[in-house]
Structure 1
Amino acid sequence: MLGTIVNVALIIMGSIIGSVFKRGMKDAYQDILMQGMGLAVTALGVYAISKHMPKSQYPVLFIVSLALGGVIGEKLNMEERFKTLVSKISKGNLAEGLSTAVLLFCIGTLSIVGPIESALNGNQTYLFTNAILDFVTSIVLAASFGIGIALSAIVLFCWQGFLFVSAGAVASHIPPELLTEISVIGGVLILSSGLSILGLKKFRTMNLIPALLIPVLYLSVKSWIGF
């Protein structure tokens, strides 16, 4: 768990540094920083999609996953439930920032493979790399959305901790194509967050989160029936 602990610590540290910068910023600087963050998140989403899409063995699966996942998320009203929960902690646009932070920090190959590699082989390289990336990202996010971004560290700890503890039991059953499909969908979700930050279109990204489970179900059923 060393890599995860370092990852969490750097997110908290980055959030503190970013929030300090925020206090001394004029609105104009915060606006341009928000635009820069939106462009950066959009670019990360496009990069993830372009990187993993060519490797996909099921080019239509991400479309079906987004459709089914969106319906499930809308039925569960995940976006509004999440905003209601966050509003009890802080006012303003923190909910948007936290949803973006959770996506960026948790939905990615390094954050998925890292804990598994750490548990099975004691290799912390992926998690340390992920920690450095998250440190920089948390500074920028906290400068835009405030110290509340540090709350995403709790989600990250639970996510990576779950993967770490479960790795011994399930790692041998996780095919590479599943990671690819999850990364493609994750890229789409990150892209939607970027567009929302830029104000081009307000996507209910949290309601699309269940889309990440569809490839798991599909490939599990496919393997079970031997198709």
Structure 2
Amino acid sequence: MSGTIVNVVLIIVGSLIGSVFKRGMKDSYQDILMQGMGLAVTALGVYSISKHMPNSHYPVLFIVSLALGGVIGEKLDMENRFKNIVSKFSKGNLAEGLSTAVLLFCIGTLSIVGPIESALNGNQTYLFTNAILDLVTSIVLAATFGIGIALSAIVLFCWQGFFYVAAGAVAAYITPELLTEISIIGGVLILSSGLSILGVKKFRTMNLIPALFIPVVYLSVKSLIGF
């Protein structure tokens, strides 16, 4: 798991660097950085959607997934539970920053395929590439939201650790079509985070996260029944 460990360490390092920048910033600079971060996250969401949508064999699946996932997330009240947990450790908008960080760090091909490649073939390329990207992203996020962004490294470790440990069992199910559907939904969630940061509308993005698991269930059932 050396690739994952490097990824985690670089997120923590990036968060430390970003938090140092944040302490020396005037409010006006923090505001413009927040706007820049919001635009960047929005652009990443649009890019992910536009990149993967043409490759989808199930153009309605992401809509159904968002609808069902949203109902499940709302029933579990994931957004408020998450905010309540974060508020015990920090005030301000850290919850918004953390949810954005978790989506950016975890929902992507590199962070899913990377640990599987590491476990099965000893190939760390995907994880090291992901680590460099996450270093830069964590610096910007921490400069915007503070040192608390480092907590996302724990989520990343658990996420990639799961795929690493379960590599043999899940590798056959991580198909290109599944990654495509997850990436589309992930793009929509990242887009909603960006719009929330910009203040266009405060989306309850955390309540939509269960949508990511609907394609897994659908495609698994489809494969089992041979339909």
TM-score normalised by L of structure 2:
0.99
Listed as ranges, the matches of 1:39-58 within 5 Å are: 39-58=39-58
2:71 matched to 1:77? no
Aligned twin of 1:109 = 109
Deviation (angstroms), 1:39: 0.4
Q: 2-side partners of 1:82 and 1:126: how far apart?
A: 30
Q: Which runs of 4+ in 1 moved over 6 A?
A: none
* AA partner of residue 88 (structure 2): K
Question: For 2:71 and 2:34, how far apart are their aligned partners in 1?
Answer: 30
Residue in structure 1 matched with residue 97 of structure 2 by the alignment: 97
User: Which residue of 2 is the match for residue 87 of structure 1?
Assistant: 87
Are residues 1:3 and 2:3 paired?
yes
Could you tell me which runs of 5 or more consecutive residues in structure 1 were left unpaired when the two chains were aligned.
Answer: none
* CA positional deviation for 1:175: 2.0
Give the deviation of 1:168 after TM superposition: 1.2
Q: Distance in 2 between matches of 1:3 and 1:173?
A: 22
What SS does structure 2 have at the residue aligned with 1:3?
Answer: helix
Matched residues, number = 227
Give the structure 2 partner of residue 163 of structure 1: 163
Please give the TM-score of this superposition, normalised by the length of structure 1: 0.99
**Aligned counterpart, 2:219:** 219
CA distance in 2, matches of 1:152, 1:21: 19
Decide whether the 8 Å contact of 2:163 with 2:170 is kept in 1. no
Structure-2 separation of matches of 1:180 and 1:116: 17
Q: What amino acid is aligned across from residue 65 of structure 1 in structure 2? A: S
Tell me which residue corresponds to 2:206. Answer: 206
Aligned: 1:128 with 2:149: no
Q: What is the 5 A alignment of 1:162-201? A: 162-201=162-201
Name whichever of 151-160 and 174-183 sits farther off: 174-183
3-state SS of the aligned residue for 2:166?
helix
User: Which residue number corresponds to residue 65 of structure 2?
Assistant: 65
In the TM superposition, what is the alpha-carbon distance from 1:194 to its structure 2 partner? Answer: 0.3
Percent of paired sites with the same residue: 89
User: Counterparts of 1:185 and 1:147 in 2: how far apart (Å)?
Assistant: 28
Alpha-carbon RMSD? 0.6
Partner of 1:22: 22
How far the C-alpha of 1:172 sits from its partner, in A, is 1.8
Is the CA contact 2:6–2:128 (under 8 Å) kept in the aligned structure 1?
yes
What's the CA shift string for 1:172-193, capped at 9, x where partnerless? 2322211110011001000000
Alignment deviations for residues 58-117 of structure 1 (CA, whole Å, 9 cap, x no partner):
000000000000000000000000000000111110000000000000111111111111
Aligned to 1:144: 144
Counterpart AA for 2:129: T
Q: Following the alignment from structure 1 to structure 2, what is the Cα–Cα distance between the partners of residues 111 and 218?
A: 22
Over residues 123-157 of structure 1, what are the superposed CA-to-partner deviations in whole Å (9 max), with x where a residue is unaligned?
Answer: 11111111011000000000010000000000000
2:16 partner SS? helix
> In the TM superposition, what is the alpha-carbon distance from 1:221 to its structure 2 partner?
1.1
Shift of 1:160: 0.3
